[in-house]
Chains A and B, each alone.
Chain A
Amino acid sequence: GIQVEQSPPDLILQEGANSTLRCNFSDSVNNLQWFHQNPWGQLINLFYIPSGTKQNGRLSATTVATERYSLLYISSSQTTDSGVYFCAVGGGGGATNKLIFGTGTLLAVQP
């Protein structure tokens, strides 16, 4: 099955700093999503981005499908950005389109 790797596993930032999170996947996909899991466990959709570049406020994402990676950029980080960021991919030839999740990046933004 598809393998999904995220880096770094942990990240500590000072408020206002910028960061880049990376997601590598091992096969072609037709779905790629970035999520933020808040302290209450809710998975919040950030981007649906199987290819290309999108921006939403301080967040942006780029997926290069041919090279099998995606990047999530967080600019001017805030304490409310803390939590776990997951990349998840789907497709890769399967009929289910189930999502395969990476192990996540744990982000802590300090004031």
Chain B
Amino acid sequence: GAGVSQSPRYKVAKRGQDVALRCDPISGHVSLFWYQQALGQGPEFLTYFQNEAQLDKSGLPSDRFFAERPEGSVSTLKIQRTQQEDSAVYLCASSLVISGNEQFFGPGTRLTVL
């Protein structure tokens, strides 16, 4: 079946612009995660949804970052007033159940802020 998909795959933004990144999880997966991967490092957790509820946003680096999953399926990560330090790959992952289950990752969106 289809895996996790993300769009766009690449995004270039001028500093100060707002961006929106989309994630389509595997159909039926309850849990959805966003991670940020800086160059040369491992992914770092941003936020977690269980269905439409955002249960953990402890990893969001500032109040410029906002995520939603209004119908419990597709999720959008929005970054307002982008800064150069926001340049990274943003990865989305989903898993079937709530705890202790295997996570599957999308191909990521590479964001470059000029």
Contacts and interface: CB of A to CB of B under 8 A. Distances in A.
Q: Do A and B bind each other?
A: yes
B65 interface: no
A103 B99 CA distance: 23
A17 B67 CA distance: 45
B18 interface: no
Nearest to A43: B105
B94 to A, nearest CB: 12
Q: Chain B interface: which size bin?
A: 20 to 34
B45 A97 contact: no
A30 B48 CA distance: 17
Contacts of A40: 107
B33 to A, nearest CB: 6
Contacts of A43: 43, 91, 105
Interface residues of A, number: 25
A100 B45 contact: yes
B97 to A, nearest CB: 9
Q: In the complex, which of the residues B31, B41, B45, B101 has the most CB atoms of chain A within 10 Å of its own CB atom?
A: B45
B102 A96 contact: no
A30 B99 contact: yes
Contact of A45 (B35, B43, B99, B104): B104
Given A30-B99, A30-B100, A41-B89, A98 B110 contact: no
Nearest to A86: B42
A102 interface: yes
B108 A41 contact: yes
Interface in A70-108: 86, 88, 90-91, 95-104
A32 to B, nearest CB: 10
10 contacts: A31-B100, A35-B105, A41-B107, A50-B100, A88-B43, A95-B99, A98-B33, A99-B45, A99-B93, A103-B42
